[in-house]
Amino acid sequence: MAVFLHWLTGGVGVTLGWHRLLSHRSFQTPKWLEYLLVFCGTLSLQGGPIWWVGLHRHHHLYSDQDADHHDSCKGFWWSHMGWMFHEVPAEKEIARFTKDIADDPFYQALDKYFFPIQLAFAGLLYMIGGFPFLFWGVFVRLVLVYHTTWFVNSATHKFGYRTYESSDRSTNCWWVAVLAYGEGWHNNHHTYQYSARHGLKWWEIDLTWMMIQLLQTLGLAWKVKLVEESSSTSNP
């Protein structure tokens, strides 16, 4: 249960829905599917989609600079989770970075009710499987999803290798890529933020990219943005 819901909420929801689809618009889907993917992300209890997308876009603009709310230059602990225990000035700029989604009533509702939605989901799991489903499907799963997301903020700005000379400290970290469904190829992502595919080398396995390919095959994803071969073989 924990592993399945880790994939559904962290992989399908946050990585595929909130990150590659909503934050970077690296591909398009039918609106009903976009809403479903983003709803799955809401079950990760990482805030609402407008809030999350706004902070993520802000991070990309100021990555590893003082304005970056999880600036890795301030240390591993800070970028991993320490920043959340302090005031986040970037929250004041969320409206500036979310003009394309801020007026959507569905996303507004998810932002406003993301915690009650999680409580309702917890209640549903309890009704289906009792305390074991509640324990593994909510408490254990949320801790695992939280740290998976945080490792993308911390470990992939410290460990691994750099294929491209990006303007920040982003790295490609294989074990984060395993945990986070391809998000560990972070140096690739920071260099080509628009790309739906993060694992650019043959050995850089990207499970989220495989999900996008499946959606393409089913006719549920189009306008998929990719890095041209000539671009990926040379440092920018």
What predicted TM-score, i.e. pTM, was given to this entire model?
0.94
Q: Which residues of the chain have pLDDT under 50?
A: 230, 234, 236
Per-residue pLDDT, 236:
47
Cβ-contact 153, 87 below 8 angstroms:
no
Q: Where are the alpha helices (DSSP H) in the chain?
A: 2-5, 31-42, 49-61, 76-80, 94-97, 105-134, 141-154, 174-179, 186-191, 207-217, 229-232
Compute how many other C-beta atoms are within 10 angstroms of the C-beta atom of residue 161.
9
CB 22 within 8 A of CB 49: yes
Beta bridge partners of 172: 161, 185
pLDDT for the residue numbered 32: 98
Phi-psi category of 206—alpha, beta or left, where left has phi over 0 and alpha has psi -120 to 50?
Answer: beta
pLDDT at 228: 82
